[in-house]
Amino acid sequence: MLQQTRVEYVQSYYERFLNTFPTLEALAAASLDDILCIWEGLGYYARARNLHAAARTIVASGRLPSNCEDLRSLPGIGPYTSRAIASIAFHEPVAAVDGNVRRVISRLFTHTGNPASSVQELADKLLHTGRPGDYNQAMMELGSQICTPKRPRCTRCPVQNYCMAWAEGAPEFYPAPKKKVSIPHYDVAVAVLRNAAGHIFIQQRAPEGLLGGLWELPGGKAKPDESGPATCARELQEELGVQVTVGNLIGTVKHAYSHFRITLRAYECTLIDGKPESTAGLVTTWAAPDQLNQFAFPKANRHILNLLAAPAADTS
Ligand code: SF4
């Protein structure tokens, strides 16, 4: 949960997750939909899918792997996590390098940070093999509390005497800053399509990839110079094989993902021809407004659904 996400934001999710799935067995027995509902809003949904798949693998095999190499065979566990678990839980002498540790090592050795493999080699050499878990946690804390990205607190640093960047007088020069890449922006239009009972049409994204397994309103990205209503009508024709008239704009949401940003516009739509069925074979359903909390939605979609649920403004 803490990957790319701040502790303050994670805390309530962590507590709710453990209250709902207190054991590996409970997590393994849950459906992915149940897990995504608890995870909704935390983002990076591959983490939830991997956690679920890992729990199922562990329960099926009857044991939690206890060394770095076996831990890496679990879904979602990479070099850093496997080394952190193996050293902290099983005292295996391996150095775990997260972003904080990378910064400390880069400064201690005036290493620019690239290639990453040599940072790992330096970390391996520094490791206290008798207390690898304590050593790794101390390095992580040093990076998060003292050797911060901006204005490191070098005068309070316990390893100042060994630090080459401090001796140079330029700690913030290390590691070398990452090249900034421009983040693309997409305009997205989605439809609120209701049936005679007032139920809303939703579809479930494919299990893999961005937002995999979450539910969403139908729609998609605008083509260059295409208006929101035109995007909505075209996407519903392509995705669901139906013709609609596009009515009022319900709301606009701006949202930033890790590699792109979107402006999502939602429109009231009325079916004029066809029966909506996913041409891509996605699972679809008509959900009553008071059932929508039982489905996990991406943040921007949830914002639109909350607008629908909000009482109409009194214009009298
Ligand atoms: S002396 Fe400063 S730059 Fe060096 S490790 Fe300590 S906090 Fe980081």
6 Cα–ligand 1 center, Å: 23
Residue 32 lies in a domain: no
pLDDT at 195: 96
Does a structural domain hold residue 277? yes
Please tell me the predicted confidence (pLDDT) of residue 199.
97
Report the relative pairing of strands 261-273 and 185-193 from DSSP bridges.
parallel
Is 268 among the domain residues? Answer: yes
In angstroms, what is the span from residue 168 Cα to ligand 1's centroid? 11
Bridge-based pairing of strands 261-273 and 243-256 is: antiparallel
Segment 135-158, tens digit of pLDDT: 999 999 999 999 999 999 999 999
Query: What pLDDT does residue 316 have?
Result: 45
Question: Each residue of 151-202: pLDDT tens digit?
Answer: 999 999 999 999 999 999 999 999 988 888 899 999 999 999 999 999 999 9
* Residue 251 domain-assigned (yes or no): yes
Question: For residue 312, what pLDDT band results from cuts at 50, 70 and 90?
Answer: low
What are the C-alpha distances in Å from 199 to residues 134, 196, 285, 307?
55, 7, 9, 16
Question: Is there a domain that residue 167 lies in?
Answer: no
Q: Is 108 in the pocket of ligand 1 (CB under 6 A)?
A: yes
Site to probe by mutation for ligand 1, drawn from 122, 163, 168 as the one with most ligand atoms within 8 Å of Cβ, is 163
- Indicate which CATH number applies to the domain containing 230: 3.90.79.10
- Which one-letter DSSP state was computed for residue 125? H
CA of 174 to the centre of ligand 1 (A): 10
- The whole-model pTM stands at 0.80
Residue scoring higher pLDDT (182 or 312): 182
| Long-range CB contacts (within 8 A, 24+) of 64-68 | 64/24, 66/90, 67/92, 68/92, 68/94
Per DSSP, 180 falls in state P
Residue 108 lies in a domain: no
CA angle 282, 194, 272 (to 5 degrees): 90
In-domain check, residue 244: yes
Residue whose C-alpha is closest to residue 108's, from 151, 176, 167, 177: 167
Residue 290 structural domain: 185-309
CA of 129 from ligand 1 middle (Å) equals: 22
Whether 67 is covered by a domain: the verdict is no
- Give dist(CA 300, CA 199) in Å, integer: 20
Asked if 157 and 163 count as a contact pair (C-beta separation under 8 A), the reply is yes
User: What are the pLDDT digits (tens) for 231-268?
Assistant: 999 999 999 999 999 999 999 999 998 889 999 999 99
Residue 177: cis peptide before it, omega within 30 degrees of 0: no
Domains identified in the chain, total number: 1
Is the distance from the beta carbon of residue 105 to the nearest atom of ligand 1 less than 6 Å? no
